[in-house]
Chain A
Amino acid sequence: MKEEKTILQTEAQISEGGGELAVNKKNIVKELLMKILFIIAAAIFIAVVAVICVYLFVLAVPTIAEIGFFEFIFGSRWLPGNELYGLGTLIVGTSYATACALIVGVPIGLLVAVFMAFYCPKWLYKVMKPVVNILAGIPSIVYGYFGLNVIVPFVSRTFGGGGASLLATALVLGIMILPTVISISENALRAVPKSYYEGALALGATKERAIIKTVFPAAMSGVVTSIILALGRAFGETAAVVLVCGNIAQFPDSLLDPIRTLSSNIATGLAYGTGLHRQALIASSVVLFVFILIITAIVMVLRKKKR
């Protein structure tokens, strides 16, 4: 029995040796096939973006043409009942909300990033990092509901008015963009060579001065990237905003006026809109999309500069 086995084995070895060429060929084919699969996977990314682009634009352009481009973008009245589709108030509302959210979130986020990169002891970092991650992970609808039940009444009690307002929106969005600002800025600050910081300290600067005057300028492109990504997140946020913004399409006069954003308009209108109303909502999502494309382009340019 044993002998038989060894004979069989040697036979197998011989046949393998003889078929080396065939095996090689098979390998080459396999390598090539898999390489093509990998390329296809990468190409899917391009295809998805292309399909989204083309599909949205093809559907939106006729609508915008029907309403009239200037009427659509700059018209100040969104009254689907009267066939009036002007995004003016919505664009202004979105911009105000985004700007105010940045005013709330960016300074705090940058200060926390400084803390995480320069002050945080190791044991505390092990707590703070997950805390920031949880902040990033909480679903936006939960933020919205929290805002509706805590921040809106708080605004109403402290400053008067209905509560659901530009200020409430800014506060909720400000909290939501914190993790983006913190984690990307922190990485940018950490990427600056330690020698910059140490050099400044050696020249007699205080720790804070060294951070502000040497590390921050060196990390500027990363910090700006984090702010712009936060801007993108705030601009497109829907589920949280729709609950706290008050949903009145108007130019806000004060922080306490209710607003309506592009995204919340889409989310609420889509539930019942038909015909041209629905088409206009789809077209307004293209406005959001174009804005995000611009932001992405800016981020790409900044990344290139960093290298």
Chain B
Amino acid sequence: MAKELILKEGEVDARDIVPINRQSFRDKLQAYLHKPFSFLLLILVAIATFATAAVVVGIVIYVLWQGVPHLKPELFSWRWTIDNLSLMPSLINTLVISLISLLLAGVIGIFAAIFMVEYAKSTNVFVKIVRMAAETLSGIPSIVYGIFGMMFFVDEDFLGMGFTLLGGALTMTMMILPLIMRTTEEALLAVPDSFREGSFALGAGKLRTIFVIILPSAIPGIVSGVILGFGRIVGETMALVYTAGSAFNIRYPAGLMGQGCTLTVYMYSLISEGSGYSNQAWAIAVVLIILVVIINGAAEFIGNKLKKEY
């Protein structure tokens, strides 16, 4: 039983005092009813957020619901045949293209970012043009990359390689360059200047400072940028249909100079073939979504967990 408070004259029970910065739910409701506009906005914000979350969950669940029953083991067999319609060759093609593009774009993007952050002054004209170029590259639609890649790598006029995984990989390299440069730049900028000053003070040269001090500290940000680039490649369709080739050659994983389709392109081809292949298309959609979730999760995990507190 609660102890009864005996108040002397002039004393107030502290429990009855409502702090002015605390509002009860009723107070809030009262305030909102006086301001219908604010109340309306609050409700709209809630509805929009709920709708967005519902759309994401809806899409993911719908794809899983349609696709998971068709994720049969024969879909993952090494050889493609007309009976099993295996997605394995296209999965391997995707990984091959990703590996080459990430290697190339990784080196170029990271080096360019080092130049932009560690060497150049931001007022430099060259730097401004590079920034403009990066901005332009990140805005170009994938179909335009596809057309350019087709004319540059595939067609007779210039390199004339025909449809090759290499052509697709080079096209993708151009596409993810700005992403990798931007994330690396952000990661480098997040390294405090005291690290650089300390390193210089100990007599290390600029190069040594960059490779021994700055890059290791910026690694989580850089890696998560590269992983996001991987996600971009996995999800790309139109830049690859006309550079790496569509599903004409899916019997076995293509070599670097052979033509082959990636997962998305394979899915696109199956959809274009008509509704007869919808089961396989949904199964590929499931694989794609699983890949995207894993990739996003990995990027986030590495970006957050490995980040040291400076």
Contact = CB atoms under 8 A, between A and B. Distances in A.
A60 to B, nearest CB: 10
Interface in A238-279: 238-239, 243, 263, 266-267, 270
Given A48-B137, A296-B136, A208 B231 contact: no
Contacts, number: 240
B15 interface: no
Interface string B44-86: 1111110111011101101100100000000000000000000
A239 B269 CA distance: 11
Contacts of B234: 139
Interface in A102-150: 107-108, 111-112, 114-115, 119, 128-135, 137-146, 148-150
A25 interface: no
Interface residues of B, number: 90
Contacts of A52: 140, 144, 148, 174
Contact of B60 (A30, A56, A134, A140): A134
Interface stretch (A156-164, A188-196, A287-295): A287-295
B144 A289 contact: yes
Interface stretch (A1-9, A13-21, A39-47, A79-87): A39-47
B141 interface: yes
A112 B300 contact: no
B107 interface: yes
Given A263-B141, A263-B143, A135 B56 contact: yes
Given A137-B296, A270-B147, A42 B136 contact: no
Given A44-B112, A114-B45, A288 B130 contact: no
A206 B35 contact: yes
A41 B242 CA distance: 27
Contacts of B31: 206
B125 to A, nearest CB: 11
Contacts of B288: 138-139, 141-142
B133 A239 contact: no
A63 interface: no
B48 A108 contact: yes
A235 B141 contact: yes
B195 interface: no
Contacts of B178: 45
Interface stretch (B6-14, B95-103, B113-121, B212-220): B113-121
Nearest to A228: B139
A40 B119 CA distance: 13
B276 interface: no
B257 interface: no
B107 to A, nearest CB: 7
Interface string B229-242: 00100111110011
Given A45-B112, A49-B136, A239 B151 contact: no
A229 B140 CA distance: 11
A299 B45 contact: no
A282 B151 contact: yes
Given A206-B31, A208-B37, A111 B45 contact: yes
Most buried by B among A42, A46, A133, A206: A42
B50 to A, nearest CB: 10
B133 A45 contact: yes
Interface string B274-300: 000010011001001100110111001
A178 interface: yes
A236 B108 contact: no
A56 B141 CA distance: 14
A46 B129 contact: yes
Contacts of A282: 147, 151
B259 interface: no
Contacts of A61: none
Contact of A178 (B52, B119, B126, B241): B52
Most buried by B among A139, A285, A289: A139
Interface of A: 27, 30-31, 34-35, 37-46, 48-49, 51-52, 55-56, 59, 107-108, 111-112, 114-115, 119, 128-135, 137-146, 148-150, 175, 178, 182, 206-209, 211-212, 229, 232, 235-239, 243, 263, 266-267, 270, 281-282, 285, 288-289, 292-293, 295-296, 299-300
26 contacts: A41-B111, A42-B127, A44-B112, A46-B133, A48-B177, A51-B152, A52-B144, A55-B152, A128-B53, A130-B300, A134-B60, A134-B296, A139-B264, A141-B271, A141-B288, A142-B267, A145-B267, A146-B59, A146-B62, A209-B37, A236-B143, A239-B238, A267-B241, A270-B147, A285-B143, A288-B144
Interface of B: 31-32, 35, 37-39, 41-42, 44-49, 51-53, 55-57, 59-60, 62-63, 66, 107-112, 114-116, 118-120, 126-127, 129-130, 132-137, 139-144, 147-148, 150-152, 158, 174, 177-178, 181, 205-207, 231, 234-238, 241-242, 264, 267-268, 271, 278, 281-282, 285, 288-289, 292-293, 295-297, 300
Given A130-B297, A140-B235, A238-B142, 8 more contacts: A34-B207, A39-B119, A108-B48, A175-B59, A208-B42, A238-B237, A292-B144, A295-B139
